[in-house]
Amino acid sequence: MPVSPGEFRHDPEIPYSVHVIENPSQEDLRALSQYHTPHIYQSKYGNLNRITRCKARMAQSTYIIAPIAEQGFYSSKVMLPDRAARLIHYQREYIERLGTLLRIDGYQGYGPRATAVQWLYTPEGANLAGMQQVLSFPRSAMETKQQQEQPFRPHLRVIMTPGCLSKETPGEIAVIVDLERWTTYVLGSDYFGESKKGMLRMLNEYVYQLGGLVLHAGAKAVTIDGRRVMVAIMGLSGTGKTTTTFSHQGDLTEPIQDDMICLWPDGQCTVTENGCFAKIYGLREDAEPVIYRGTIHRDAWVENGYLDKEMDYDFSKNILSPDEVNRWRVALLHTGAQLSNLEAYVSGEVKIEDILDNYGVPQDGWDFIQWTQNGRSIIPMAAIESAVGMDHVPAVESLGMLNRDEGPNAATPGVIRFTSPEQAAAYFMLGETSMTSAAGKERGKTRSPFTQPFFPRAPYLQAKRFEKLAAHMPDLQLWLMNTGYVGGDQKDVDAGTALKVKIRHSSAMLEALLGNRIAWKKDRDFGYEIVDTADSRNAPLLEKVPDEILNPVLFFNRRGQQGQYREWVEQMKEDRWNYLLKLGVDEEILHQVHTYTGL
């Protein structure tokens, strides 16, 4: 098992016989990217956009170095030390053959609990180095002048070689995590998420050993009714975490963090990153002005954004025409498109209707006709409007979860308030949502705790830690919001048979929640609290949010679908029970999802 934090720090010397470019400037990293990085393009705004071979993280190619007998201790697969050593040596040979490494020294987090981290990249990953430098806090922000004159000794180290393909692991990618040496080796992936999460996975272990927990959450300070409240918003990819973090409530909203925060035993909450990692598909200035303007900022970096002929971003690009495929031919072939299929589509031999299913998903081998919806932007916090100063982060008072419910049985209330830390811990572990573009072609419901896939230990340990931390914060507001649908999906909304929880609905519910302007009632099936739509005190909220979103029972009852709703209730209780039982959570948490029998 891993050693305790602080027992090991990396030596200042880089463990490779290569030339090291130490902490290049952002301008130098842009120049290095344009020279070394394949398929990188400058937009009309002056920022750089990289088209990557890998479009998402590869969980199936992620391994913890450990004996097979210790598999139960970890959430990822284990890799035997001998096999790991062979791949690490293979990466070393690649690095020393190229002869150059880019080195980024910085801190993950701000303040006395920040963790020193070092990232090393081969030159074809220069854009990754630029992105990571944006998100990390520089030594100058964390150290005295005297400390900066000393050699940097990081706690954590990530070594990333995008061009070094691993022939013996899925997708020719290997992410090898050595928790004893606090090092992650990434072979073959050019996707920035592997750099970012390579560090965050180790940070999860580091913070856990210190008594805290890293949450997959954004955070912001909201001034409402004369009070300044810090709210943290947990959400899996595609649930609207970043959107909710940057939406406006109250008199003033100050973004603090968009992806990961640390919750500590004393109730304090600290940030991890000095910028924003935002999904850009469907991005519009009128709906998400802060993220939109940050993404087109000259200092931002973009990954897999679509550029038109004028080199302007089209954040809604989905299906490519034959002409567009031909224009992007070289990049698409780099990402894995089959030449024969590409030529058949460009020539008109194969039509779009021949290769899309009813949901607009292309057949295997034809993915290149659909631009990825997992495009990202990395925005410096300095380019985020109204971002809070890191020296003025208030204590967290409100902690929520996002569930993007979707499908014919989508019946999660618009907003829920939990009645106890144990109940909140159960839903924290469930992490229910519907898969989105970040999951590739897969669709449907999924469950994953709100630290996953970055918590390397056995999942059940998160549940008790979360419950313990929440219990020591008796005034903490614990809640959940549905950011998806009621009674269907977008096709059903278009047909008038379902409801979409829109951004304005979510913003109104969150504002009412933070302002303590909701009259609650207990849900008779699940025991958490929901908006009492019959209470006149909720009239202002009902003017902004349909009652069927706030209480989906009304949606099903009014359509004569009471039986369908009852079936959903019983199925959800059983599924939730079985899922938490499989994770091995404590009995007091397990019973929060099954034993409530109504009023």
Question: pLDDT digit of tens for each residue in the chain (599 aa)?
Answer: 444 565 678 999 999 999 999 999 999 999 999 999 999 999 999 999 999 999 988 889 999 999 999 998 988 899 999 999 999 999 999 999 999 999 999 999 998 899 999 999 999 999 999 999 999 999 999 999 999 999 999 999 999 999 999 999 999 999 999 999 999 999 999 999 999 999 999 999 999 999 999 999 999 999 999 999 899 999 887 788 888 988 899 999 988 888 889 999 887 888 899 999 999 999 999 988 989 999 999 999 999 999 999 999 999 999 999 999 999 999 999 989 999 999 999 999 999 999 998 878 899 999 999 999 999 999 998 888 777 777 777 778 999 999 999 999 899 999 999 999 999 999 999 988 875 544 444 445 778 887 766 899 998 999 999 999 999 998 999 999 999 999 999 999 999 999 999 999 999 999 999 999 999 999 999 999 999 999 999 999 999 999 999 999 999 999 999 999 999 999 999 999 999 999 999 999 999 997 554 44
CA torsion through residues 384, 385, 389, 390, sign:
negative
Residues 490, 318 contacting (CB under 8 angstroms): no
Residue 166 tokens read as 């691993």
Check residue 23 and give left, alpha or beta (phi > 0: left; psi -120 to 50: alpha). Answer: left
**How far, rounded to the nearest angstrom, does the alpha carbon of residue 126 sit from its chain's CA centroid?**
22
Phi and psi at residue 264, in whole multiples of 5°?
-110, 165
DSSP assignment of 439-487 equals GTT--SEE---TTTTS--B-THHHHHHHHHHHHT-TT-EEEEEE-SEES
pLDDT of res. 258: 84
Residues 254, 386 contacting (CB under 8 angstroms): yes
DSSP assignment of 223-268 equals EETTEEEEEEEE--TTSSHHHHHHS--SSEEEEEESS-EEE-TTS-
Residues 118, 10 contacting (CB under 8 angstroms): yes
Cis peptide before 413 (omega within 30 of 0): no
Instruction: Report d(CA 10, CA 358) in Å as an integer.
Output: 53
Residue 274 tokens read as 């000095």
Instruction: Report d(CA 471, CA 505) in Å as an integer.
Output: 30
Instruction: Report d(CA 149, CA 444) in Å as an integer.
Output: 53
Residues 432, 478 contacting (CB under 8 angstroms): no
List the alpha helices (DSSP H) in 75-191.
81-98, 126-135, 139-142, 145-148
Instruction: Return the residue matching tokens 């019946």.
Output: 411
Q: How many CB atoms lie within 10 A of CB 6?
A: 10
Instruction: Report d(CA 425, CA 587) in Å as an integer.
Output: 12
CA torsion through residues 238, 240, 243, 246, sign:
negative
* pTM score: 0.89
Distant-in-sequence, close-in-space partners of 393: CB < 8 Å, separation ≥ 6: 219, 221, 230, 256, 269, 270, 271
pLDDT of res. 1: 46
Structural domains of the chain, ranges and CATH numbers in brackets = 19-210 (3.40.449.10), 214-290+384-593 (3.90.228.20), 319-370 (no CATH)
pLDDT of res. 5: 62
Phi and psi at residue 20, in whole multiples of 5°?
-115, 125
Instruction: Return the residue matching tokens 């990819």.
Output: 237
Instruction: Report d(CA 319, CA 330) in Å as an integer.
Output: 17
Residues 91, 159 contacting (CB under 8 angstroms): yes
pLDDT of res. 62: 95
pLDDT of res. 337: 94
Closest CA to 318 of 378, 376, 367: 367
Are β-strands 40-42 and 48-50 bridged in parallel, bridged antiparallel, or unpaired? antiparallel
Closest CA to 318 of 293, 359, 281: 281
Residue 337 tokens read as 């498109």
Greatest CA separation for the chain = 72
Closest CA to 320 of 311, 332, 310: 332
